[in-house]
Amino acid sequence: MKHSGLLLIVTFIALLFSACNIEKESDYKMIKENFGEIDGKEVVLITLKNTNGNTVKITNYGATVVWIEVPDRLGNIENVTFGYETLDGYLNGDPYFGSIVGRYANRIAKGKFEIDGVEYNLAINNGVNTLHGGPGGWHSVVWDYEVIDKKGDIPVLKFTYNSPDMEEGYPGNMIAEVEYIWNDKNELHINYNCSTDKKTVLNITNHAYFNLKGAGNGDILDHEMQIMASKFTPVDQDLIPTGDNIVVEGTPFDFREPHKVGERIEEEYEQLILGKGYDHNFVLDNDKEVDAIVYEETSGRLMEMMTDQPGVQFYCGNFLDGTQTGHGSRAYNYRGGLCLETQHYPDSPNQANFPSWSLANPLSPVRFIGSL
Ligand code: BGC
């Protein structure tokens, strides 16, 4: 099978994209341009160009990935992730296209949790629940940035955000760092590193939407998906986990062998109706090198995802309706893109049986390496 590929490694999440034989360009390049201004802070767009000549564009608004271009099997380049041409797009109803999501990715039931008997109340933004850190989450702040360019190494684009104690209701001052590395194998590595001064919770992810035919080029129902997960966490009508783990075998959630996304998405299965399609946390087996593979036959593009996180939210754009338009004025339609949001399970702070995602050790900074 001839394909082209992309690898996403998240805190490691790595996205590896592969394709045809690639002529090497000259040097790795990094270009910075102005992308706007918010509250007196400059928003920039940084282009990373690897020696294959393939570019990734990232802005410090939400530490957001705006553009990832990779070749198809014939060498034709397309951008495969959703993004806007201007900052305005990100300020007007953006459904987290490519952004960093924090402090707590996914839902926290009723926006409440307890630590050591103290109840914390978060900003609510999804019915009665909190989604993706709240309305003022990390997707919507301007991050500081620096380029770490050690001789002989691929440069690291590093973003830092100082999140104050009780921001959106979360305890603890937190320093969040996100590093992006776009290397010559068309691998995008995303590393996270957070420290805090109080017991608190954390679940950080990247919310990129992918369409390997090209962003805005039809739906993703024909994409072949493989997820190395033997279980998933079922949800209620508000997409809050019930606390159970269900074995995927015999359900439309069994992607241990490749299946087209659309093959079973309309099956009468309560969990699919609740998520309006796939919008669920898959419990990763975490015993293989690669945790998910996406392949699109017409282009030959293939993406591999690797993570050290215990779960991944496989969301296939069920809430998109074409009102968001991005690069080249293309509309991002219903099920036009899919997300692989590597994460701890949703609502973990309220779910005793889920892997814990609390950061303890008050006053001694805790290093977030992805799998505490
Ligand atoms: C959630 C969806 C939600 C989307 C928001 C996903 O992570 O699982 O339910 O609609 O984010 O854009």
Q: Ligand 1, residue 346: give the atom nearest the CA.
A: 8
Mutation test residue for ligand 1: of 97, 101, 130, 132, the one with most atoms within 8 Å of CB: 132
Instruction: Give the three-class secondary structure for 243.
Output: coil
Q: Is the pLDDT of residue 362 over 50?
A: no
Distance 334 CA to ligand 1 centre (A): 13
Distance 32 CA to ligand 1 centre (A): 30
Q: Is the pLDDT of residue 229 over 50?
A: yes
Residue 101 pairs in a beta bridge with 205
Does the pTM exceed 0.85? yes
Query: Rounded to whole angstroms, how far apart are CA atoms 53 and 77?
Result: 10
The residue with tokens 């608004």 is 61
Tens-place pLDDT, residues 108-121:
999 999 998 999 99
Is 327 among the catalytic positions?
no
Tens-place pLDDT, residues 8-24:
544 445 566 765 444 45
Listed in order, strand segments (DSSP E) in 259-309 are 259-260, 279-284, 292-296, 301-307
Position 21 scores a pLDDT of 40
- Counted residue by residue, the chain has a size of 372
Position 337 scores a pLDDT of 98
Q: Is the CB of 241 under 6 A from ligand 1?
A: no
Tens-place pLDDT, residues 165-217:
999 999 999 999 999 999 999 999 999 988 888 889 999 999 999 999 999 99
Bond prior to 103 in cis (omega within 30° of 0): yes
Q: Is the CB of 319 under 6 A from ligand 1?
A: yes
Position 369 scores a pLDDT of 29
Q: Is the CB of 354 under 6 A from ligand 1?
A: no
Reported confidence tier of residue 371, pLDDT bands at 50, 70, 90: very low
Candidates 3, 139, 207, 327; catalytic one: 207
Q: Is the CB of 239 under 6 A from ligand 1?
A: yes
Backbone angles phi, psi at 288, to 5 degrees: -120, 165
Question: Rg (Cα) of the chain, in Å, rounded?
Answer: 19
Q: Is the CB of 279 under 6 A from ligand 1?
A: yes
Report residue 72 as tokens: 């198809």
Nearest CA to ligand 1 atom 4: 95
Q: Is the pLDDT of residue 364 over 50?
A: no
Nearest CA to ligand 1 atom 9: 279
Is 280 among the catalytic positions?
no
Q: Is the CB of 312 under 6 A from ligand 1?
A: no
